[in-house]
Structure 1
Amino acid sequence: MARRKNPAVELPALALPPRTILRDSVYEALKAMLMDLDVAPGSRLSIDGIARRLAVSPTPVREALTKLESDGLVATRPNAGYIVAPVLDEARLEHLFDVRDLLEPEAARLAATGASKAQLADLRAACAAMSAHPAADDYHAYRDFAVLDARLHRVLAEASGNPLIADALARLHAHTHGYRLYFRVGIAATTTREHQAVVDAVAAHDGPAAQAAMRTHLARSRVRLRAAYEAGAGQSEVD
């Protein structure tokens, strides 16, 4: 029996500024749809169809899809081209947090003695900006918070002084996967308080406290994300 192929999806119309649409504009437009699950996981993405919808040539679409693949949001399949990457199932979510539990508390502990003044300033600035961020209910409105959240974890990993830890965490795409699973308005404040506890310990050069604060943050994030399967995976959160 011939295997049935997923049909290419029709993307909703998007209002993008004329004559200024470049690769980044296409990338951000597609990323917002994928993060908010406006296009179902597993759906095939037509390069020509996207190009027509956005009134651009196929070249910036291909470039955007390549970047989205590196983000873990799209994947390539034989005879199907690009498809929307699946949302994490429960088992993969647990595996993701198992790896984070091994790496991130240790990264925070090392950062407490290894963070530079510039890195500490970056961590404090990220926390302050997240504290001031308004509530939002979709990726377009919440994008800046998501970027700050991922940046804080990235800087902590880099401040550990171990590039292998930083590289391994970057490859997990943890925040991208987390957002696609579950997001609730109001979670930002809780997440920011947990981040602040980590940053305060790092700034005080207290390695054990930084390690414990990161462990607490990850444990609470895991609980929040597990709730996605009770509510029906497909809402989103950052952590």
Structure 2
Amino acid sequence: MADDDGRTHAAAQDGPAGPPRQVLADSVYEAVKAKVMDHEIQPGARVGIEALARALDVSPTPVREALARLESEGLVTKRSLAGYRATELLTRAGLDELFEMRLLLEPRAAELAAQNADDTQLDAIENLVEEMRRHPRTGDRYAVYRDFAALDQRFHDTIARASDRPLLADAVGRLHSHLHIFRLGSIAGGGPLTLAEHDRILRAVLRRSPGRAAEAMRDHLTASLRRQHGRDTPQAG
């Protein structure tokens, strides 16, 4: 189906030549997300649906769907009659508050995971650490660090779910902390340090040692915040 200017959009195709709807939706979501993460859409800037649709050669529908997903992740905000805007970067105070919340939630989640995780969850946590070794983070672009960041988030979310406390797991997931932190930019050597710290958490959980699991998670988050403070944190505005 062609739109008013005669272009045929993949999103409107129902025949075999067009990609499945979900594949297209996911592709557009990742493309728009990359623009936000890489600051091609500047923090605080308005996000034009029509302009994005033209740039990606799709109809506005998958762009709107992508922006709705990004809103749920805290990467864009929607205002009545004003459309979407990319969220501002975390300030130093915002970064500290984010880690304050994580330090309240995640050591307890790790402690409970060491007590309550079943074998399937233990295998999942271990597999995530192994998979992270195969996706080292070695660059500033989202396309480079995307896999590492996603696995990093899944590691923390899986531990939280293994706590057998649904409200706690939901609170950890809703922070979307990794997306906001990775938007601030790369830290040299951060990947190997993160892996070493995840290894320590993993060993404590596998050994069913609640106290050590909580300590390892607390040390990991404290070290991560210290690494963030080791570079200039961009200010909003």
DSSP-derived class of the 1:42 partner: coil
Q: Deviations over 1:201-227 (max 9, x none)?
A: 000000000000000000001111223
- In the other structure, the counterpart of 1:13 is none
Q: Is the 8 A contact 1:23 1:63 kept in 2?
A: yes
- In the other structure, the counterpart of 1:205 is 208
Q: Is the 8 A contact 1:182 1:225 kept in 2?
A: no
Structure 2 residue runs of 5 or longer lacking an equivalent are: 1-16
Q: Deviations over 1:25-48 (max 9, x none)?
A: 100001111112222101101111
| 2: CA distance, partners of 1:98 / 1:117 | 31
Identity of aligned residues (%): 45
- In the other structure, the counterpart of 2:195 is 192
- More displaced 10-residue stretch of structure 1: 126-135 or 160-169: 126-135
Instruction: State the number of aligned residues.
Output: 216
Structure 1 residue runs of 5 or longer lacking an equivalent are: 1-17, 235-239
- In the other structure, the counterpart of 2:182 is 179
| 2: CA distance, partners of 1:45 / 1:96 | 25
- In the other structure, the counterpart of 2:6 is none
Once the two structures are TM-superposed, the CA of residue 19 in structure 1 deviates from its matched residue by 4.2
- In the other structure, the counterpart of 2:218 is 215
- In the other structure, the counterpart of 1:167 is 170
Asked if 1:46 is matched to 2:12, the reply is no
| 2: CA distance, partners of 1:71 / 1:168 | 13
Asked if 1:120 is matched to 2:151, the reply is no
- In the other structure, the counterpart of 2:90 is 88
Q: Is the 8 A contact 1:112 1:203 kept in 2?
A: yes
- In the other structure, the counterpart of 2:101 is 99
Q: Is the 8 A contact 1:33 1:39 kept in 2?
A: yes
Once the two structures are TM-superposed, the CA of residue 198 in structure 1 deviates from its matched residue by 0.3
| 2: CA distance, partners of 1:166 / 1:182 | 26
Once the two structures are TM-superposed, the CA of residue 22 in structure 1 deviates from its matched residue by 1.1
- In the other structure, the counterpart of 1:131 is 133
Once the two structures are TM-superposed, the CA of residue 135 in structure 1 deviates from its matched residue by 4.2
TM-score by length of structure 1 reads 0.86
* Structure of larger gyration radius: 2
- More displaced 10-residue stretch of structure 1: 178-187 or 154-163: 178-187
- In the other structure, the counterpart of 2:149 is 146
Once the two structures are TM-superposed, the CA of residue 186 in structure 1 deviates from its matched residue by 2.6
Q: Is the 8 A contact 2:41 2:47 kept in 1?
A: no
DSSP-derived class of the 1:184 partner: coil
TM-score by length of structure 2 reads 0.87
Q: Deviations over 1:69-90 (max 9, x none)?
A: 0011111124320001111111
| 1: CA distance, partners of 2:100 / 2:177 | 12
Q: Deviations over 1:87-112 (max 9, x none)?
A: 11111111111111111001000000
- In the other structure, the counterpart of 1:60 is 62
- In the other structure, the counterpart of 1:226 is 229
Q: CA 1:227–1:182 in 2, change beyond 3 Å: closer, same or farther?
A: farther
- In the other structure, the counterpart of 1:237 is none
DSSP-derived class of the 2:183 partner: helix
Q: Give the CA RMSD over aligned residues.
A: 1.7
- In the other structure, the counterpart of 2:10 is none
Q: Deviations over 1:124-144 (max 9, x none)?
A: 111111122244212112111
AA aligned to 2:171 is: A
